[in-house]
Each structure stands twice: as structure tokens, then as C-alpha cells.
A and B are shown apart, each in its own frame.
Chain A
Amino acid sequence: MDLLPQLLINGLISGTLLAIPAIGFTAIFAVLRFPNFSVASHATIGAFAGYAANVWLGLPAAPALIAAFLVAALVGLISDEVALKPLRPYGALTAAIASIALTIVLENMVRFGFGNELRGYDLPLVRDWRVWGVRVGPQQVQNLVLALIIMGVVFAALKFSRIGKAMRAVADNPTLAELKGIDPVWIGRLTVFIGMGLVGAGGMLLGLGTSIDPLTGFRFILPIFAAAVVGGLGSIPGAALGAMVVGIGEELSVLVLSPSYKSAVGFIAIVLVLAFRPRGLLGERAY
């Protein structure tokens, strides 16, 4: 029976893809201290920007992914400046509620432009590879490699670049960081830009395997939150680890649950982790 290794491979791949938007969500939480629910619409925006680059301009998946990142990052930055930033002084929950309103506005703007129909990316059709009885699509492998590259760049930037260090400093202790001459406003902007960019790229990566519509981002919202909460809200390595747990958990759930309940696995994971380890697997430290 080759079902188990197949499910594990699928879970590993979808977990890696899920890690990208989860890192974006958790990074924004780490620096700005509120759950930004507008990741749903930014994942959709990224998926559609990538679609436009891929189908209308004829670009292959990798450059289209850059378009997805840039468009989502830019929309994220502008909408945050206009809608969410002025509300943050009123508290995390006010900003969180406003971010749902924002996600509804942005999602409907996409619907306004593209309509409700399902759209598929223009990708070359290739036969699946079979390795020891496990089927893997070359496209899946390409997505996996792209996701791993993005993750590598993010971790390297956080670890070694001045900006990465400044972000970690603000996440760790905003007052102390400000005393050291780091401007928290600019770090906040940068985090939103990069975070929403990652969410957009993640939306496209997750959409590449299926078709996309304006609700694409919303469908991934439970797994994204679950990955972030399971790993520890605000912890970037935690989000990557949490994404693996949720990705593999979703695939394995097929053994006991109907496949349509895949996205409920995220919710179950959230409840279990919060009941037994409220700060997540890796705690809440940003890095």
C-alpha cells in the first residue's frame, strides 16, 4: 500500500507552499501586534496578479510569482496606510475587525474586475513522475523549489541584513528598538510590504495547483492562521514548522475524514494547540 508515503509527500509539498503566506501573516503580527485578517484578500490579489502576468503577458510561473509578490505587497502597503494604520492606536481588536472589512472591500474589487468565474493558470502539461510508487508532478516540484528559495531568502534576510535585524528588534521590544534609533513606523511599513508580498506569492503558489476565483484567499485563511498559531503567533520559524504540521495533517486527515473537511483540520489544530500549548510549538519570539 503506497497511500501513506504519497500522502506524506503531498503534505510536505503543500506544507511548504503554505509556509510562505503563514510567514507573511506571522511577521506582520510580530511587528504590529494584531492579527491582520486581510491576508485573505491579499492572497487572492497575488493569485490574480500572477494570473495576469502568466496568462495575459505569457510569463512563466517564476517571473509571474514576482509580479504576485510586488502587486500584493504594494496593495498591502497602501491599504494598510489608508485603512488600518490609523486604527491601530485603538487596540489590536479594532484593527483586526477593520482588517476583515478591508478584506471584504479588496476581495470585491477583484470580483468587480475579474468576475466570479474560475480561472486556471497557463502551465505546460507534463506527465507526473513516479518514484518508488509515489507520484509527483514536475509542477509540484517546481513550486516546492520556488517556495524553498523564497523561504531561504526570507531567513537569510532576517538573520544577516540590517533591515532584518531591525525588524527582529522591533518585534522583540519596540521601545528599546526606538531608543536605538530604529524608526518603528518605517519598519512597520517594510514589514507590511514584505509580509503581504509573501502572502500574495503564497496565494499564487497555492492557486497554481488548482484554479482561482475571488474566494481563493478566503479558502486558505484557516490553514494560514492554523500554521501561525500552531507554530506560535509571531514566530517566523514557528510559522514554517506550523505549516508543515498543518499541511501533513490535512493530507493524513483524508484517512479518517471526508476530503471536504481538509480545511477544518486547521481549526482542530488551533483548538488543540491552544488547549495544551497556548504559545504554540516554538513560542512567540519572532526569530
Chain B
Amino acid sequence: MLSYLLATLTFAGIYALLALGLNVIWGMAGMVNLGLAGFFALGAYASALATVALGLPIALGIVIAISVASLAGALLSRLTLNLRGDYLAIVTLGFGEVIRLIAANEIWLTNGSDGIPGIPGPFRGTLTPLQFNALSAALLAVAVALAWWMTERLRRSPYGRALRAIRDDETAAAVAGKPVRRFKVQAFAIGAGLLGLAGAAYAHFTSYVAPDIFRPLLTIYIFLALTAGGTGSTAGAVLGAVLVIAILEGSRFIEPLFHGLSGAGGAALREIIIGTALIVVMRLRPEGLLAERPPKPETRP
């Protein structure tokens, strides 16, 4: 039971990283990214391949994962800079699907739909499973704390203010002399880097990646996390991620109440609950539990 709790905490950490990454892209800079699962997959596969195929240490794999996802984010946002939000939604969703298609079909690289097993985790061989889960949860907690600190600093900095200005009115921000295009690409790259980091953490914790893990469903989980917590709020992103994991894991315990539910039926029920939850939250509390509060101006005596 303790081991299960620790594993759940680790997943909450991974979701929190994803929510923090999306918060930079969507919450602060206002660019919709429905291809979140694609960046998560890029990070997971990059780190998995670096450590399994090339035998590099895990830390280096994670750095590679962040760089690959970040670079892909910069490229994609550079290509789509002039697009209106609704077009960007279509393009990013398509990007996520294409990444999954590549992962499923480039068998020489990714092993196709069989996935890559045996991805190393830190000290996996020498620790008991319980100890390993505890270590993972602790490492994820540190990563989330770092990402929290970093994105919160970003949000409070003049750069963060400029991003919010771009989000709220791009033309006005440009008129005020902000380098709108450069800032948007940078914000997308920073956010995508966090998504890639989450992917790497997922790969090393579960030791297995396959294309089916990166379905658009994940994108909905994270949008739910961010919307529930409060889009634009750093604490809200983390709180929302914990909440989504609580709903996901909690609904596991509801399943036995429905007698004769098949495995597919149970999974379907969980996904119905999550999808409905997002729509209900958007309807009842569109600003989220912890609504975004612009940082107070520093007062000088």
C-alpha cells in the first residue's frame, strides 16, 4: 500500500511537471498546445533511447530529453507564429498525432508498437521496489519544486509580465516595443522543455515506453489539471495535477462497485469521468480554484 501511494505521488509529480510546462505555454503566453502528449513522448523516447541504445547515464538522458523537446517546441512555434488560436489548436493536435505515428512506425528506432522495455531507473537494481518508489517520489518532488521556483520567478519577472501582455493583447504588446515573436518562441520552448522533462521522468520511473501511452487523452488530463487549478497560476497548476491524479486513482476504487465490468469497460468509465469533469469545471469555475493573481508591485519605503 505504501509502495502504491509512493508510485501515485510520483505520477502526481510527473503530471505537475506537465501542468507547469503547459502553464508557461498556455497559461502565461496564451498559446494553445493540444500536442502536449507529443512533447511528452519526445522527452520519454529521447531519454529512453539515450540510456538504452547509447548507454549514456540517466542524467545525460534527461538533459537530452529536455533539449529535444525544447527544440521541437521552438521549431513548431516558429512555424506557427502567425496563426490564429483556432488554427494553432489544429496544428498542435496534428503534431501530437504525427509524433505518435512516427513512434509506432519507425521500428528500427523506437521498436514500434512493442515499445522500449528495460529503461534504467536510478539505482533500480540495488534498491527494493519500495525504496525505488520512495526515491522516485523524492526526486520528482525536487524536480517539481525546482520547476515551480523557476516558473514562478519567470512569471514575476519583467519577462513574465511581457508574456501576459502578449497573451492579453498581442498588438498592444508589440506597440509597446515588446519583441512579441521572439518571446512567444522562447516561452513555447521553455514550456516544451518541461514537458520533455516529464516524459524522461516517466520513462525512467516506469522503465517502459510505447506509442499507446501518448494518446491525446493525456492532453485532456493536463488541461483539466490546469483549468481546475487556475490557468496562469503556478500553485494552481501543481494543485490541479494532484487533483487529477486523485480523481484518476480514486475512480479505480469505484470500479469494483459495478459488478461484471470488463477491463475495457472500467477504463472507459474512468475516461468518461475525466472528460465530464473537465467540462463541468470549465462551466462552473472557469477561473480555477486558485485564480491567477498578478504579482503585487514591489513597494519601496
Contact = CB atoms under 8 A, between A and B. Distances in A.
Same complex origin of A and B: yes
A90 B95 CA distance: 25
Interface stretch (A16-24, A103-111, A248-256): A103-111
B86 A92 contact: yes
Contact of B282 (A37, A87, A104, A116): A87
A264 interface: yes
B79 interface: yes
Contact of B101 (A29, A86, A102, A261): A261
Given A35-B89, A35-B90, A97 B32 contact: yes
Given A101-B275, A104-B217, A96 B89 contact: yes
Contact of A93 (B85, B217, B276, B283): B85
Interface residues of A, number: 47
Interface string B219-240: 1100110010000000000000
Given A263-B101, A278-B83, A101 B94 contact: no
B105 interface: yes
Nearest to A259: B105
Interface in B90-129: 90-91, 93-95, 97-98, 101-102, 104-105
A112 B255 CA distance: 13
Contact of B90 (A83, A107, A111, A270): A270
A94 B98 contact: no
Nearest to A35: B86
Contacts of B49: none
Given A112-B265, A115-B264, A260-B104, A90 B90 contact: no
A108 B101 contact: no
Contacts of A15: none
Given A87-B283, A94-B282, A108 B275 contact: yes
Residues of A contacting B: mostly: helix
A264 B99 CA distance: 10
A93 B89 contact: yes
B98 A267 contact: yes
A258 B104 CA distance: 12
Contacts of B82: 278
B164 to A, nearest CB: 16
Interface in A1-56: 29, 33-35, 37
A74 interface: no
Given A90-B286, A105-B272, A267-B98, A100 B90 contact: no
A237 B265 CA distance: 41
B279 interface: yes
Contact of A264 (B85, B101, B217, B271): B101
A37 B93 contact: yes
Given A98-B278, A270-B94, A111 B101 contact: no
B175 interface: no
Contacts of B265: 111-112, 115
Contacts of A100: 34, 93, 216, 219-220, 223
A222 B38 CA distance: 15
A229 B105 contact: no
Interface of A: 29, 33-35, 37, 83, 86-87, 90, 92-94, 96-98, 100-105, 107-109, 111-112, 115-116, 218, 221-222, 225-226, 229, 233, 258, 260-261, 263-264, 266-267, 270-271, 274-275, 278
Given A29-B86, A104-B272, 13 more contacts: A93-B86, A100-B93, A100-B216, A101-B274, A108-B275, A111-B265, A111-B268, A225-B93, A261-B101, A263-B101, A270-B90, A271-B91, A275-B79
Interface of B: 32, 34, 79-80, 82-83, 85-87, 89-91, 93-95, 97-98, 101-102, 104-105, 216-217, 219-220, 223-224, 227, 262, 264-265, 267-269, 271-272, 274-276, 278-279, 282-283, 286
27 contacts: A35-B89, A83-B279, A87-B279, A87-B282, A93-B86, A97-B32, A100-B223, A101-B220, A101-B278, A102-B279, A104-B216, A104-B220, A105-B271, A107-B271, A108-B267, A108-B275, A111-B268, A112-B269, A218-B216, A221-B97, A258-B105, A263-B101, A264-B101, A267-B97, A270-B90, A271-B79, A275-B79
